[in-house]
A and B are shown apart, each in its own frame.
Chain A
């Protein structure tokens, strides 16, 4: 559990996650599969949004993804600052991609 301060500092380079992954012989297959599928959905949604702001039904139409999945991913992206809410159009709000300032480290 908690070590002393000095040892903790080195944790940044120690990467216990990587050590555990090695010990287990990799991350669980199911988790990897799920994550791959999520990334695919996310990319499809992001691609559809590059043309400009869009509502959930519009994105669902373009991507052929179920609208509830589009909403779920959009809201996750909104929560973590990748998407913002735009104007309302009829019964739906539009969503806009946030331009990335810098590429992820």
Chain B
């Protein structure tokens, strides 16, 4: 019982003390500040100093503006602290800026401006590599998702275009004039115009004659036709580079034209055509970026979108790294292939 009364007494005392001290505080707030200026005048003074370029001086004045008293804030406190914090930030005194913002947040814990500013100060304070890593972690999953489409386009074009290229090359070499002319025309057309134009034509132009393609088929058709035309010329010159004696030797043991082509001539072209074909495929990896213009969301388009949303240059750097990764893998793969295919000449 006795202890109970004691506790109550103690709490009453504490409450009284608290109320008293609040009064004391408000009394101090009500009295003019030591410099004898009111908040408005201080704000003006600070901004006058600031325009002279003396940011540190301006900060000192801003920080003299007192915290709001019980009769309410005139708004000067918050804006003075924000202003001081911005000036500290501008002078790259990040921790000082944070201290100032903390002072503001202690009074107004939900001040949106202060909270956002605190975030950007913290971001600015992060070491370069840490920020880079954070951005990487943020962007890479999106970029990888975009790369999947890029790889898909590369994969199918690499399957289709050598076949198309071979057919066009054989047609062009063949003795049947109409086919030979047609193949010449295809090569002329697709090598002589920009790939971008071809893609536009297929995607935006064909609907005019009633053929509407969705982006993926349009992109695949455009890339495949273009690369078939390029590979056709490489394959054709490869075939023509093979000694005519090979063809005769094949015919002399009874091979048909096609058997001689398939078994004797074409396998010997690999060694000759592999380096330029490798070059074309590396160009292809980069050329897939062009399909981003016909509503395809692949690596380039993804990077572009992320960049536009964040204005963070890291996105573009990461996209470059992914492209480089692909082209590097290709370069090495082709070097290995070349070594294997050409082995019979070295032994």
- Indicate, yes or no, whether A interacts with B: no
**Chain B interface (Cβ within 8 Å of chain A)?**
none
